[in-house]
Amino acid sequence: MPVSTPPRALAFDVFGTVVDWRRSIAREVAPFLASIGRTDISPERFADGWRERYVPATDSVRSGRRPFVVLDVLHREMLEDLLQHHGVNPAGLGDQLLDELTRAWHRLDPWPDAVAGLTRLKRQFPLVTLSNGNIALMLALARRSGLPWDAILGAEFSRTYKPDPGAYLGTVEALGLEPSQVCLVAAHHGDLVGARACGLQTAFVARPMEYGGRRAPDADLVQDWEHSARDLLDLADQLGC
């Protein structure tokens, strides 16, 4: 889709777009599963099960069925539900161990192109997060890997989870811009659909290994996005950075 005017700011989805959650979580849970004698569960399968609980958990807030809580709280609840699914009683493991494992989401590795791509994009555009991750989580990821955000916005700032329009428009409002002046960068077509419905520009970044090479669950939602890139370095090329 042709772009009439370039954006004045770039807003980024983070999980899967900037950081590789699946391999990172699998790395973190492998010693945990060994410590509780559950080597029958593959770390990758455990990571997938944890992530599969993400949409129902955030929907419980987005729908108004429960008050807003940050993603760290939801991640802990998802973990306990996943353990029970595998026949493990989380109450028998202790809060300290479960809290530390929940913070695995604070230790995700960036994709190989992420830091260099963001650094180039930052030469021309303000970069902000538009993630469902809470501020403490986003800050931990940024400091761990050198992600050069200008601001951390998104769900906790807007008090709602994507794809609720308030998550996108709250971030736009914080930037003092019009929706058409902000471009969401994401590896997920469903996220880009939500952003476009709110009037934002869109940039798709391909992450074929996000789900271990499996087809993405929102692959059928693809549209003719304003930009479509192989990675963040390719997006920087397209945007003249």
Domain ranges of the chain: 9-20+109-238, 21-106
Q: Using one digit for the tens of pLDDT, what is the confidence trace for 15-72?
A: 999 999 999 999 999 999 999 999 999 999 999 999 999 999 999 999 999 999 999 9
The two three-digit tokens of residue 159, written as one number: 């008090």
Same CATH topology for 9-20+109-238 and 21-106: the answer is: no
Residue 3 has pLDDT above 60, yes or no: no
Assigned CATH for 9-20+109-238: 3.40.50.1000
Measured distance CA(211)–CA(10) in Å, rounded: 25
Q: Using one digit for the tens of pLDDT, what is the confidence trace for 112-153?
A: 999 999 999 999 999 999 999 999 999 999 999 999 999 999
194-to-78, 99, 110 alpha-carbon distances in Å: 24, 32, 24
Task: Answer yes or no: are the C-beta atoms of 165 and 194 closer than 8 Å.
Answer: yes
Q: Using one digit for the tens of pLDDT, what is the confidence trace for 160-183?
A: 999 999 999 999 999 999 999 999
Average pLDDT, the chain: 96
pTM beyond 0.75, yes or no: yes
Measured distance CA(162)–CA(164) in Å, rounded: 5
Q: Which fold, 21-106? A: DNA polymerase; domain 1 (1.10.150)
Q: What is the pLDDT of residue 12?
A: 98
Geometric angle at alpha carbon 231, from 51 and 132, rounded to 5°: 35
Q: Using one digit for the tens of pLDDT, what is the confidence trace for 88-117?
A: 999 999 899 999 999 999 999 999 999 999
